[in-house]
């Protein structure tokens, strides 16, 4: 969003020695140049907030400008969910997947085609939901032969 003089932004105040709400006084080529601290009325050159969570102007010039971390706006991808589900279970043995076998929620299993999966929930005596790398699948379990 473009900055407009009079806007309130978070910036580092050299007098307060902290991130403070500051009023934009002057802009230069779309960049905030001069600000006034709402806490101490100190006017000065805009300085990026030191707190990482504070709002940072889109384009920040200067060599010290570090890339801000991109936030994941989208829902977790199946692959991430799968990774998370497997986290901490690396050393657990994965049971080979056999339809006749019974499994418990959170148990790891090893499917011939889909690879390593985690049992998300047991739906019924013969059905369970398993999270594989490519997504969730309903699998047969405890099948009587």
How many CA atoms within 13 Å lie on the side-chain side of 73? 1
Selected range binding Zn ion among 37-45, 67-75, 86-94, 98-106, rule: CB under 5 A: 37-45
Interface pick for Zn ion out of 11, 13, 24, 35 (rule CB under 5 A) = 13
Selected range binding Zn ion among 11-19, 62-70, 111-119, 126-134, rule: CB under 5 A: 11-19
Nearer to Zn ion by C-beta: 40 or 100?
40
Location of structure tokens 């405890």: 142
User: Rounded to the nearest 5 degrees, what angle is found at the Cα of 3, between the Cα atoms of 21 and 56?
Assistant: 55
Interface pick for Zn ion out of 5, 28, 30, 39 (rule CB under 5 A) = 39
- 37 contacts Zn ion (rule: CB under 5 A): yes
Residue 5, token pair as written in the block: 């003089």
Nearer to Zn ion by C-beta: 40 or 76?
40
| Least distance CB 115 / Zn ion (angstroms) | 56
Q: Are 24 and 10 in contact (CB under 8 A)?
A: no
DSSP codes joined into one string, 62-75: STT-PPPPPP--SP
Q: Which helix (H) or strand (E) holds 140?
A: strand 135-140
Interface pick for Zn ion out of 42, 89, 133, 137 (rule CB under 5 A) = 42
Computed over its alpha carbons, how large is the radius of gyration of the chain? 27
| Least distance CB 39 / Zn ion (angstroms) | 4
Residue 2, token pair as written in the block: 């473009």
Residues that bind Zn ion (CB under 5 A): 13, 15-16, 20, 37, 39-40, 42
């Amino acid at each position: 969003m473009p900055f407009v003089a009079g806007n309130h932004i978070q910036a580092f105040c050299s007098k307060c020695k902290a991130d403070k709400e500051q009023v934009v006084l002057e802009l230069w080529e779309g960049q905030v140049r001069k600000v006034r601290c709402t806490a101490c009325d100190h006017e000065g050159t805009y300085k990026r907030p030191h707190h990482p969570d504070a709002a940072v102007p889109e384009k920040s010039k200067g060599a010290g400008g570090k890339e801000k971390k991109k936030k994941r706006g989208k829902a977790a991808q199946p692959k991430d969910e799968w990774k998370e589900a497997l986290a901490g279970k690396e050393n657990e043995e994965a049971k080979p997947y056999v339809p006749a076998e019974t499994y418990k929620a959170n148990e790891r299993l090893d499917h011939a085609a889909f690879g390593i999966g985690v049992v998300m929930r047991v739906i019924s005596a013969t059905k369970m939901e398993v999270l594989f790398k490519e997504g969730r699948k309903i699998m047969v379990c405890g099948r009587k032969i």
